[in-house]
């Protein structure tokens, strides 16, 4: 890593963030500014299925005194169950991870275009499209963009209804096999953690402990995201015990997609000390 003052165990970190490079609403510069203004020392910007902007994001962070880890959230599945995978490193090596992410992103985009065309064919008119999708030149790039357009034009009362409409128009979730994604992340010099196992909202599956045990017996995951805004105290305790039992890494992230959705969470670095160490960030005593 670049030269910085030591990261202390109490310093704020957030290892799960999204920008306009995927489905987030944070402009990268605005997110880094927010993190700097609120004293964050380490961050991981884990945009969905893309690693193209890692170098730029790290440079933005370094200019504001923030260590930005190389990160990505891959859209994967295990036995046909959605399982998002967070991958981290000091830096990713080779092209396999980028190729996997790009393949998933391209397939998602092709489906997004097809669904958009079907919605228009059915008579939906998106007169405010340029405004709603201004961050990406007015173009629908990801499935959530079609849902955003439906909500913004009052065709859907909420995201759940919007997702039902795009599903009826042909939306399908594109995923990579979880075991392959973990293997590729390891080949790229990274570690892989199951994202928000207790969330269980929308297209996200909520894993119980028995499922997690079965998954870990099959797939060489490095860890799970323990600390997450919607995880209950009971879930956190069970994940902490699971991590200790299996010798895994524990993650901590807000999953912030933008200031209007959820702000970054200042988790103390000690909660993810083993993960940070694997990414080249050793913690200093307070």
Residues 6+ apart with CB under 8 A from 153: 124, 125, 126, 127, 128
Longest Cα–Cα distance of the chain, Å, equals 61
Q: Is the domain of 110 the same as that of 14?
A: no
Give the closest residue to 83 by CA, choosing from 206, 189, 251, 222.
Answer: 206
- Indicate whether 151 and 231 sit together in one domain: no
What is the token pair recorded at 25? 């609403």
* Residue 176, strand partner residues: 76
pLDDT attached to residue 4: 57
Same domain, 278 and 261: yes
Q: Determine, yes or no, domain membership for 245.
A: yes
DSSP code, position 82 = E
pLDDT at 2 (0 to 100): 43
In angstroms, rounded to a whole number, what is the distance separating the alpha carbons of residues 281 and 1? 8
Residues paired with 251 in a beta bridge? 225
**Domain boundary at 126, 147, 168, which?**
168
Tell me, yes or no, whether 13 lies in a domain.
yes
- Would you say 68 and 14 are in contact if contact means Cβ atoms under 8 Å apart? no
* Owner of token pair 């879930």: 235
Same-domain check for residues 82 and 203 = yes
* N- to C-terminal Cα separation, the chain: 21
Residue 1 covered by a domain: no
Among 140, 168, 196, the domain boundary falls at 168
* Secondary structure (DSSP) of 164-212: HHHHHTT-----EEHHHHHHHHHHTT-EEEE--TT---TTPPPPPHHHH
Residues 60 and 135 placed together within one structural domain of the fold: no
- Closest by alpha carbon to 197, among 251, 266, 268? 251
How confident is the model at residue 200, as a pLDDT? 81
Report the pLDDT value the prediction gives residue 1, as an integer from 0 to 100.
42
Per-run averaged pLDDT (10 residues), the chain, 286 residues: 74 97 92 98 97 96 97 96 96 97 94 97 98 89 91 94 95 95 98 96 87 98 98 98 98 95 96 97 91
Q: Tokens for 17? A: 């963030």
Which residues, in sequence order, are CB contacts of 51 under 8 Å at separation 6+? Answer: 70, 72, 92, 97, 98, 101
Report how far residue 272's alpha carbon sits from residue 139's, in angstroms, rounded to the nearest whole number: 37
Asked whether residue 261 is assigned to any structural domain, the reply reads yes
211 and 164 within one domain = no
CB atoms within 10 A of CB 241: 11
∠ CA 10-239-77, rounded to 5°:
115
Bridge partners of residue 67, in order along the sequence = 42
Tell whether 2 is covered by a domain: no
Which CATH number belongs to the domain containing residue 260 in this structure?
3.20.20.140
d(CA 161, CA 279): 40
- The boundaries of the domain holding residue 233 are 7-95+177-284
For the entire predicted model, the pTM comes to: 0.91
In a domain, 218, yes or no: yes
C-alpha closest to that of 17 among 275, 256, 267, 265:
256
């Amino acid at each position: 890593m670049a030269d910085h003052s030591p990261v202390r165990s109490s310093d704020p970190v957030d290892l799960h963030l999204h920008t306009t490079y995927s489905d987030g609403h944070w402009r990268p510069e605005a997110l880094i500014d927010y993190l700097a203004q609120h004293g964050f020392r380490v961050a991981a910007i884990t945009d969905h299925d893309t690693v193209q902007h890692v170098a730029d994001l790290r440079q933005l962070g370094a200019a504001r005194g923030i260590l930005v880890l190389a990160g990505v959230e891959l859209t994967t599945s295990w036995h046909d169950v959605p399982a998002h995978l967070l991958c981290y490193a000091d830096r990713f090596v080779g092209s396999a991870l980028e190729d996997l992410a790009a393949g998933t992103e391209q397939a998602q985009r092709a489906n997004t275009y097809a669904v958009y065309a079907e919605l228009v064919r059915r008579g939906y008119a998106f007169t405010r499209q340029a405004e709603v999708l201004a961050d990406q030149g007015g173009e629908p790039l990801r499935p959530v963009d079609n849902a955003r357009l439906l909500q913004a034009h009052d065709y859907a009362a909420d995201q759940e209804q919007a997702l039902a409409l795009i599903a009826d128009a042909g939306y399908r979730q594109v995923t990579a096999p979880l075991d392959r994604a973990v293997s590729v992340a390891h080949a790229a010099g990274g570690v892989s953690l199951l994202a928000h196992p207790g969330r269980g909202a929308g297209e996200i599956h909520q894993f119980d402990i028995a499922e997690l045990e079965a998954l870990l017996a099959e797939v060489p995951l490095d860890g799970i995201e323990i600390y997450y805004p919607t995880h209950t105290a009971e879930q956190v305790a069970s994940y902490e015990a699971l991590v200790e039992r299996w010798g895994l890494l524990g993650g901590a992230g807000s999953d912030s997609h933008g200031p209007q959705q959820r702000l970054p969470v200042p988790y103390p670095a000690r909660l993810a000390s083993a993960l940070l160490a694997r990414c080249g960030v050793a913690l200093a005593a307070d």
